Amino acid sequence: MKIAKTILIVFFFLLSSIAQAADGKPSEDSVRQLMEVTQARKLVEHMYKQFDNHLALAMKQTLQGREIPAETQAFMEKTREKLVRIFQEEASWEKLEPIYLKIYADLFTQEEVDGMLAFYKSPTGQAMIKKMPAVTHSSMREVQGRLQPIMAKMSALLQEETAAFSKEEQKKKEAQGKK
């Protein structure tokens, strides 16, 4: 009886392996390797720092250069630290890794994961991993610089259109009042 169970378990294991290979889904191990090679955990940890910096900047902008009492400043700092801690706990690598594993397994084939692993293990791939944070940061800085004049133009257009619409509505009301 034990032998039959063992054979049945091995059979189902092989069947599931064949099914996985047939649909091209990558193995969990290969996806983990890819995340390790691309330093995905490090990127998540960098995200914590960005969140902290964003909160600090938002608080500074909210104050708009006003002087605040030391105890209020201490309260705000303590609150920011608590918010960052919650973010780090809720978006920890241990909680995010299973999500990434599922996404990669759903979207990539084993062949694609193997290709990415080969690329990211190469000197060019390693250079990309090391330089992408700087590329992303520089790109965001440049785009933000471009967005300011665009937002100003859009705001001006919105004000013009709103004024024109209000004027038209007022004319319609006046015309209806004369009837």
Question: pLDDT digits over 15-42, tens only?
Answer: 344 444 445 899 999 999 999 999 999 9
Same domain, 146 and 87: no
pTM beyond 0.75, yes or no: no
- Domain shared by 127 and 117, yes or no: no
Residues 129, 115 share a domain: no
Domain that holds residue 143: 123-158
pLDDT score recorded for residue 23 = 59
Residues 37 and 74 grouped into a single domain: yes
Measure the CA–CA gap between 155 and 132, rounded to whole angstroms: 33
Residue pointed to by tokens 């965001």 = 140
The pLDDT score that the predictor gives to residue 140 is 86
Tell me what pLDDT residue 14 has. 40
Q: Cβ neighbours of residue 56 under 8 Å, at least 6 residues apart?
A: 80
- Asked if residue 100 and residue 141 are part of one domain, the reply reads no
Residues 40 and 113 both lie in one domain:
yes
Residue 115 lies in a domain: yes
122 secondary structure, DSSP code: S
H/E segment holding residue 69: none
Residues 150 and 102 in one domain: no
Distance CA 13, CA 128 (A): 38
At 103-154, the pLDDT tens digits run: 999 999 999 999 999 999 999 999 999 999 899 889 988 988 888 888 888 9
| Domain total of the chain | 2
Q: Which helix (H) or strand (E) segment is 41 a member of?
A: helix 40-63
Kindly indicate the confidence band of residue 7, based on its pLDDT and cuts at 50, 70 and 90. Answer: very low
Distance, CA of 73 to CA of 68 (rounded, Å): 7
pLDDT, tens digit, for every residue of 146-170?
888 888 889 999 999 999 999 999 9
φ and ψ of 24, to 5 deg:
80, 10
Residue 90 and residue 39 in one domain: yes
